[in-house]
Amino acid sequence: MTYEIACNSCGTPLYSGFDLRSPADVLKASEFRCRKCGMKLATAKFAVEVKKIDGSFD
Ligand SMILES: [Zn+2]
């Protein structure tokens, strides 16, 4: 199972991995900005942006 935290402006994954990390920690590492589009990111929004992504079905 993979977790992803993505920019809700351009969709660039800011974090993707097997460990569920706090959006605050992830965003802090990128200074609360999307490294691609420069959109300022608020942790409040990202509480619902953490998605569980199902792996392959095999
Ligand atoms: Zn972005």
Edge-to-edge order in the sheet of strand 2-6:
13-17, 2-6, 51-53
Binned at pLDDT 50, 70 and 90, residue 58 comes out as low
Task: Write the pLDDT tens digit of every residue in 6-50.
Answer: 888 898 888 888 888 888 888 888 888 898 999 888 776 654 455
Tell me the two tokens of residue 14: 């800011």
Question: pTM for this one?
Answer: 0.63
Cross-strand bridge partners of residue 33? 40
Domain range enclosing 21: 2-53
Domain membership flag for residue 58: no
**Overall domain count for the chain:** 1
Tell me the two tokens of residue 25: 């920690």
Phi, psi of 5 (to 5 degrees): -120, 115
12 Cα to the center of ligand 1, angstroms: 6
41 Cα to the center of ligand 1, angstroms: 9
Pick from 34, 33, 28: which is nearest to 13 by CA?
Answer: 34
